[in-house]
Structure 1
């Protein structure tokens, strides 16, 4: 084998600069520094791979530190992503890299690296469990918050519906109460009007009663209007019978004019008194007549006496009422009550 060439003179190495750019102490990653204008004598080309190491040693040494930090940051980011996604963490082992430049050194004394893990990226099983528990707790809290929110919404809707129903019920109750109050007021008004009307009618009848009197006194009603029987030529009774002893005074019910006075067949002695409105009052079966035709009489004036002349079964005065002088008679009882009298 050929012997190695004699070593070349050592290149010029300038002394380390003590300036630290304001840091206060020198740092190993700041040198070595080379002069700005190297010459052939200070730097000679070196063969082999050592040339790469010497030419790039300083830059690669700094790059190794940056690379290591970048790898650790990337692995840490991967661990965080693993924790966030809920997947089990993966432990990554990296060899110790004292210097990237040593990877290019083929000397037998250069360190070859170690299988010892530089760092364990990600989280441990305990950290993973804690992360899963934390994520689960956060999810549970979100679900419970949503449940509470939905429950609150449901309760709010139910409360609003209850308030609406209560308001509607109160409105209906108020409307019903108003309706009942109105009906009550209307009934009270109608009752008051009826009472007032009755009172006015009573006053009118009382005033009329001063103008009208019953045909006789101390009497008994023995026959009413419409009573059927064969003893009457019409088949029914056409007047009102006031039974009284013979000779009892017969009075003019109201003021008027005597239009008939004398014998009338089945009616016996009869007096017809015509009132101012044209109504004719017939007083029949008299024992005697005290007035003459054309005579004007006043209320309560004596016009004759009770008797039993004509078609009779006993002494009484038979009273008939003919409105407007018509042939058909009406019920004397109703007519007398209309004048404020109560036979």
Structure 2
């Protein structure tokens, strides 16, 4: 089959007829061949998949034997390679018409070619073997798409493994931090609990100690007062408290009551509250008959409004001695004992509080 340019194309789909009057046995008559000058262009050089241009020669030589087909295929494989790539467009291979030398002149090839028919058969088998080997070689070539896909998959798997490793490392760090925080919290809680228990125990101990000390003081004070009570006594055996210390009123020159009043019948005996020395004994104006007893610590106790006195200045008395009798002399509204107490510094104080400090309850 002649092309519009006069070149013969190889048609691999044509049936092979060795008895045909064609040069290659594929339905193209040698008589129909025409030759003209070939000027290759971009279109004529564009690869065509599955079709290989084979240069034609006039006359015998390499083009007259089926061996040429094998050599051409091998040359095509060597020039362009037979390779396929997954999911890639096929790459056709085309060869320009070349003026090839005689096959017998090629090193290592001439011995494979002879003029006999047996040589043709052998050459055909050799060509077929060459094609088979070429196809097998092409089948063993690595699939670039598969290699690229495998490389991408390996890179993705490596990245995923790295990310997972980093995530696991971060998780391990977080778990370790959480465990440390939990341990610290437990230690802190234990310390706080121990501190709370210790504080509670210390508070309880301090409270017990305080109570014990208070009880000891109370007992000591009771013993002291009991001892003092043996040396102190009330001035009257029977009485009624009518006016207390500090009571306000216009009937007193100071504006308030300066002592403690024990109301009792006239002539009731007045006893010395504690041992001491008589500092005053006599008339004292609004106080009537008055006796002042000074104690060893400098405290002074005055007995006022007496009806009569039984002691004199400088006399020593002991607790319970009768020093006078109840009366209503001086500025008085009725028979009673007006008792006054002064500190060693000369300041008036509440007689009831002073008596209680000596273990005497009014």
Question: Which position in structure 2 is the counterpart of 1:329?
Answer: 348
- Structure 2 residue 192 is the aligned partner of structure 1 residue 172: yes
Change (3 A) 1:148 1:277: closer
User: 308, 317, 324: which is aligned to 2:328?
Assistant: 308
Instruction: Tell me how far 1:118 sits from its aligned partner.
Output: 2.9
Question: Which position in structure 2 is the counterpart of 1:73?
Answer: none
CA-atom RMSD in angstroms: 3.8
1:194-247 CA distance string (max 9 Å, x none): 332222122111111111001112211111122122222222211111111222
Change (3 A) 1:211 1:107: same
Aligned residues: 254
Question: Which position in structure 2 is the counterpart of 1:268?
Answer: 288
In structure 2, stretches of 5+ residues that fail to align are: 1-82, 91-106
Instruction: Tell me how far 1:282 sits from its aligned partner.
Output: 0.6
Deviates more, 1:163-172 or 1:183-192: 183-192
In structure 1, stretches of 5+ residues that fail to align are: 1-77, 92-99
- Structure 2 residue 216 is the aligned partner of structure 1 residue 200: no
Change (3 A) 1:139 1:259: closer
Separation in structure 2 between the aligned mates of residue 216 and residue 265 of structure 1, nearest angstrom:
23
- What TM-score does the superposition give when structure 1 sets the normalisation length? 0.62
Secondary structure of 1:210 counterpart:
helix
- Structure 2 residue 197 is the aligned partner of structure 1 residue 190: no
Matches within 5 A, 1:77-156: 101-102=108-109, 105-108=112-115, 109=119, 110=123, 111-112=126-127, 114-116=130-132, 117-119=135-137, 120-122=139-141, 135=154, 144=164, 147-156=167-176
Question: Which position in structure 2 is the counterpart of 1:33?
Answer: none
Question: Which position in structure 1 is the counterpart of 2:232?
Answer: 212
**8 Å CA contact retained: 1:209, 1:341:** yes
Instruction: Tell me how far 1:329 sits from its aligned partner.
Output: 2.2
Secondary structure of 2:253 counterpart:
coil
Instruction: Tell me how far 1:297 sits from its aligned partner.
Output: 1.2
Change (3 A) 1:104 1:162: farther
Instruction: Tell me how far 1:325 sits from its aligned partner.
Output: 7.3
Separation in structure 1 between the aligned mates of residue 345 and residue 113 of structure 2, nearest angstrom:
164
- Structure 2 residue 263 is the aligned partner of structure 1 residue 243: yes
